[in-house]
């Protein structure tokens, strides 16, 4: 995949509010915003119906914006286990939507995103929103916070993708070298028997 011109969908997962964004990477660290929004589902709606709504909305976004990759926040326990479980249900639907179309999904923790965007893994929401607004050259801050978080995830992936590609290439190269050495060892063993 060409990392310049890569289209990234950032998702801040949630059952009540799920932030969605799409950005386009350019040369160097340049990134252009394409779309941002929030999927909302009422808390009094049955879980299955909420998941159907989220699924339909994200599938529509994927169809409309055709991302090359999805960057999604890694779900972790924040103190309320039931919230995490409901968020995990939404994450499953979101990952499935991408997987059905063969789109790779990368997961980032909030601290990884904060570090990539602001240089500080403990930056607060306000700092993050200011940085996202500045990086994308927006005239006003994206609202609500879920939308800004989705943009931050997409930016994070754009900036981390070159390193991830190098790591993948090095791993594949190392695996190929190991297979080659194993084959040489087998041939050597056969010739000595």
Which residue segments constitute the domains of the chain, with CATH numbers given?
A: 7-162 (3.30.420.10)
Provide mean pLDDT across the span 38-65.
97
Contact yes or no for 55/90 (Cβ under 8 A): no
The verdict on whether 12 is a catalytic residue reads yes
Lowest mean pLDDT among 17-26, 39-48, 69-78, 178-187: 178-187
Tell me what pLDDT residue 128 has. 95
Sign of CA dihedral 99, 157, 146, 138: negative
Which of the following is catalytic: 112, 140, 146, 149?
146
Pairing of strands 69-73, 105-108: parallel
Q: Kind of pairing, strands 17-25 and 7-12? A: antiparallel
Dihedrals phi, psi of 35, to nearest 5 degrees = -160, 155
Q: Are strands 7-12 and 69-73 parallel, antiparallel or unpaired?
A: parallel
3-state percent helix, strand, coil for the chain, nearest multiple of 5: 55, 20, 25
Confidence of residue 164 (pLDDT cuts 50, 70, 90): low
Residues 77-98 have pLDDT tens digits of 667 787 888 899 999 999 999 9
Q: Catalytic residue among 12, 49, 64, 112, which?
A: 12
Binding residues: 12, 73, 146
pLDDT band with cut points at 50, 70 and 90 for residue 168? low
Known catalytic membership, residue 146: yes
Q: How far apart are CA 89 and CA 47, in angstroms?
A: 9
State the catalytic residue, choosing from 46, 49, 73, 112: 73
Q: For position 83, what pLDDT does the model report?
A: 82
Model pLDDT, residue 1: 53
64 as an active site residue: the answer is no
Residues that constitute the known binding site for Mg(2+): 12, 73, 146
> Which position has the token pair 């790591």?
167
Q: What does the alpha-carbon distance between residue 117 and residue 21 come to, in Å, rounded to a whole number?
A: 16
Predicted confidence band of residue 75 (pLDDT cuts 50, 70, 90) = confident
Q: Which residue has the higher pLDDT, 185 or 92?
A: 92
> Mean pLDDT across the stretch 183-193?
81
**Peptide bond preceding 165 in cis form (omega within 30 of 0):** no
Q: How far is CA 6 from CA 3, 65, 88, 149, in A?
A: 5, 12, 27, 19
Between 71 and 189, where is the model more confident? 71
What does the pLDDT average to over 30-46?
96
């Amino acid at each position: 995949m060409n990392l310049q011109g890569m289209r990234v969908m950032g998702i801040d997962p949630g059952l009540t509010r799920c932030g969605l964004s799409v950005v386009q990477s350019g040369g160097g660290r340049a990134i252009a915003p394409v779309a941002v929004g929030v999927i909302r589902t009422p808390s009094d709606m049955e879980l299955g119906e909420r998941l159907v709504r989220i699924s339909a909305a994200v599938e529509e976004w994927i169809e409309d914006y055709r991302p090359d990759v999805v960057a999604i926040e890694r779900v972790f326990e924040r103190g309320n286990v039931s919230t995490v479980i409901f968020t995990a249900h939404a994450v499953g639907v979101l990952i499935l939507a991408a997987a059905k179309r063969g789109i790779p999904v990368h997961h980032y923790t909030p601290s990884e995103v904060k570090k990539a965007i602001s240089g500080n893994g403990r930056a607060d929401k306000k700092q993050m929103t200011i940085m996202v607004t500045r990086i994308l050259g927006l005239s006003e801050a994206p609202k609500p916070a879920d939308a800004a978080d989705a943009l931050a995830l997409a930016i994070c992936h754009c900036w981390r993708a070159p390193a991830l590609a190098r790591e993948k290439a090095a791993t594949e190269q190392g695996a190929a070298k190991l297979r080659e050495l194993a084959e040489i060892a087998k041939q050597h063993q056969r010739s000595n028997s």
